[in-house]
Amino acid sequence: MKNRKATKLPLQNSRLEARISPSLKNLFVRAAKIQGVSLTDFIVATAKKEAETVLKSQSLIDLSLRDMSLLIETYSNNVEPNHKLKQAAICYKSIKNS
């Protein structure tokens, strides 16, 4: 990283503050206690997990086993498109090529 020195990126920690209701904070504190971690660690770990899921879901579709089967079975059955889709395709091609 050539620019690191020039831009003075903080190498250790940066701060994040959030305003939340006392009841929500209490909920987080209780959950953190059960896991035996600090409130900060609890919130950071939870948010990180969620952020990774969101980013992953941008490009990855996670299917349940029965949805995988549904997909593969539909593919394997190799059925004809339904009537409405066929008509729509005929219509589309005639407009596009006109």
Interface positions with other proteins (CB under 8 A): 58-76, 78-82, 84-86, 88-89, 91-92, 95-96
C-beta closer to other proteins: residue 38 or 74: 74
Smallest CA-to-CA distance from 45 within 62, 23, 28, 27 is with 28
For the stretch 49-58, what's the b/e string if a residue is b when 16 or more beta carbons lie within 10 angstroms of its beta carbon? eeeeeeeeee
Rounded least distance, CB 37 to other proteins, Å? 30
C-beta closer to other proteins: residue 26 or 57: 57
C-beta closer to other proteins: residue 23 or 59: 59
